[in-house]
Amino acid sequence: METPLRTVRTNIVQSIRAFRVQDLQEAAQALGHHFLYANLANAQSKQDVLDLIAQQFMLAVNVGKNFDALYDCMTDPLHKSGPQPGFIAVLEHIPANAKFDKEAREQLLDIFRDASDYWGDRKIPFRCFYSFL
């Protein structure tokens, strides 16, 4: 099967660039991976970003508290729930404004980099694609 991810490492966080969300969703389906999508275009603050990710990824409510809680929800509880096939996550339109500045954006992406490393250590593919607003 031809997949748009054939040239993308299995554990990576990268700009969405040439990929379309629909293609990534179809690739996740073809690979049997979880597809996690969050459109953050309406977020203004860190709290907005966390709330939207929790809501759109269908994660536990406590994920909206801070970045550590987001990391926790995306790693250990999922690992303990049973074998995981892999993940393709998309964070579309990450805000770039005074309330969600460059440092906040990097902290958010670091959470996904850390989650990618966590799953990579367990030999589970975890790819995250993002775009800025």
Question: What would the pLDDT profile of 81-130 be if each residue is shown by its tens digit?
Answer: 888 999 999 999 999 999 999 999 999 999 999 999 999 999 999 999 99
Domain 11-132 falls in which CATH fold?
Barnase; Chain D (3.30.370)
Angle, helices 102-121/46-57, rounded to nearest 10 degrees:
30
Question: What would the pLDDT profile of 54-83 be if each residue is shown by its tens digit?
Answer: 999 988 766 667 899 999 989 988 878 888
Domain map of the chain by residue range?
A: 11-132
For the cut 70, the answer to whether the pLDDT of residue 51 exceeds it is yes
